[in-house]
Amino acid sequence: MDLTRRDFVRTALATSVLSGLAIGDEPGKPAFPGLTVRMHQPRNLEFPVSELKGPIIPNEQFFVRSHFAVPQLDVNTWKLKVEGAIGKPLELTISELLKLPQKTMTATIECAGNGRVHLTPQALGLQWGQGAVGNAEWTGVTLASVLNAAGVKKTAVDVVLEGADSGIIANPPSPGAIPFSRSIPIEKANRDEVLLAFKMNGETLPASHGFPLRAVVGGWYGMASVKWLSRIVVSDKPYQGFWQTLDYSFFERRDGQPTLVPVQAMSPKAILARPGLSEIVPAGKTSRLFGAAWAGENAIDKVDISVDGGKTWAKAKLLTDPKPFQWVLWEYLWENPTKGEAAIVAKATDSKGATQPATRDADRRTYMINHLVPTAVIVK
């Protein structure tokens, strides 16, 4: 079912009123019940993974990662500019975008810093636990269809996505106020898992998730999925913006030399939703271990579980169909646990055989955190 412009503006109004109410923090009253506050201004909120119920995370529970305050955009005057190495510069209104063929896609978005609290020594940056990740159904138009309308030149190598939000970053220092922006190489930009989305789980995109339009780059870490999209620049040179050089970059070894490259595709990873850290598990009974696993552009092949800190492994049961771009849910029935402390580890392997490393690779700096982390529980 396609969304018309009238529906869009109507639901958009309702959404902005609701989010307006949530902006002021009333003492003693959480503005976002059900999410863990990692930073108040700008708002950064984590999904408490123990609350995981089904494959789709409801909009109110989807983690929020924003570098600047939410820009207040009026959908009636908002336009998406398309410029650079193209035949014809465009300025698209929301009604023009809604006329392009619409597509709905389920995709997992994980922040590249998810799990940072597990790094030792402590790393700079938001101290995310396991919950800077979510899976939702996104509706929009493909970036390829917009690029097609603009007529991309043969010389194009990168597509820069720019948000309407901006500000000064202290560490590392930005050159004054800069907008949030990221690029996607032209090959990836033309793939149909790269959406410009105006709906999230069937509802108008909430303000904190990028209203009126955001990118959803299937299979990549969250920083590529630019929110509050305002401008697309097709570039004939590789883009070297702040958010993929000084920030969101890691060391790749080329000819033995560590070379900084932008963080892109998600690595395989499993998280344990239940039981939680230090939870008491009844001895001699059957306990259900439950969680999610994803592998970026690839599908999950299997999830292995260890209840002895990684010495022995057994296969978990996958509860949903493994597909690229979206997570699976899994469970494991732990029979007859014996009294004492136990360390649970969940390990994802993808369809290409890639899996999670036992130890942290320092070349990844403070991003792409998928080394195995045991969860200690008490059996009694």
Ligand X SMILES: Nc1nc2c(c(=O)[nH]1)N[C@H]1C(S)=C(S)[C@@H](COP(=O)(O)O)O[C@H]1N2
What does the binding site for ligand X look like in residue numbers (CB under 6 A)? 62-67, 109, 111, 163, 165, 180, 209, 222-223, 225-228
Identify what 63 binds: Mo ion, ligand X, none; CB under 5 to 8 Å per kind.
Answer: ligand X
348 binds Mo ion (CB under 5 A): no
- Near Mo ion in 110-139, by CB under 5 A: 111
Is the Cβ of residue 55 or residue 163 nearer to ligand X in the bound state?
Answer: 163
Q: Which residue is at the shortest CB distance from Mo ion? A: 111
Exactly one of 12, 46, 61, 65 binds Mo ion (CB under 5 A); which one?
65
Using CA atoms, how far apart are residues 369 and 355, in angstroms rounded to an integer?
Answer: 13
**Looking at the DSSP assignment, which residues form a beta bridge with residue 37?**
45
- Number of shown-chain residues binding Mo ion (CB under 5 A): 4
- Near Mo ion in 165-224, by CB under 5 A: 222-223
Residue 224 CB, shortest distance to ligand X, in Å, is: 7
Residue 318 CB, shortest distance to ligand X, in Å, is: 25
Residue 227 CB, shortest distance to ligand X, in Å, is: 4
* Residue 340 neighbours by CB distance under 10 Å: 9
Closest CA to 81 of 227, 188, 235, 233: 233
Is the Cβ of residue 59 or residue 190 nearer to Mo ion in the bound state?
Answer: 59
Nearest-Å Rg of the Cα atoms of the chain is: 21
Is the Cβ of residue 211 or residue 367 nearer to Mo ion in the bound state?
Answer: 367
Residue 65 CB, shortest distance to ligand X, in Å, is: 4
Burial 171-205 (b: 16+ CB within 10 A, else e): eeebeeebbbbbbbebebbbeebbbbbbbbbeebb
Backbone phi and psi for residue 237, each to the nearest 5 degrees, phi listed first: -130, 150
Closest CA to 191 of 73, 107, 280: 107
Burial of 157 (0-12, 13-18, 19+ CB in 10 A): middle
160 binds Mo ion (CB under 5 A): no
Token readout for 356 is 């999670």
Is the Cβ of residue 162 or residue 350 nearer to ligand X in the bound state?
Answer: 162
Pairing between strand 375-379 and 280-281? Answer: parallel
Residue 100 CB, shortest distance to ligand X, in Å, is: 21
Token readout for 273 is 């939703």
Residue 317 CB, shortest distance to Mo ion, in Å, is: 30
Identify what 129 binds: Mo ion, ligand X, none; CB under 5 to 8 Å per kind.
Answer: none
List contacts with Mo ion (CB under 5 A): 65, 111, 222-223
